[in-house]
Amino acid sequence: MTRPALRGRSAQAGSDPCWIKSSRSFANGDCVEVTDLPDGTIGVRDSKNPGGPILRFTREEWCAFLAGVRNG
Q: From residue 17, give the alpha-carbon distance in Å to each of 1, 12, 28.
A: 22, 8, 24
Question: What is the distance in angstroms between the CA of the first residue and the CA of the last residue of the chain?
Answer: 21
pLDDT value of position 10 = 46
Domain locations along the chain: 20-70
Contact 10, 36 (CB under 8 A): yes
Q: How much of the chain is helix, strand and coil, in % rounded to 5?
A: 15, 20, 60
- Return the H-helix or E-strand segment holding 69: helix 59-70
How does pLDDT run across 2-61, given as a tens digit for each residue?
444 454 444 455 567 899 987 777 777 778 899 999 999 999 999 889 999 999 999 999
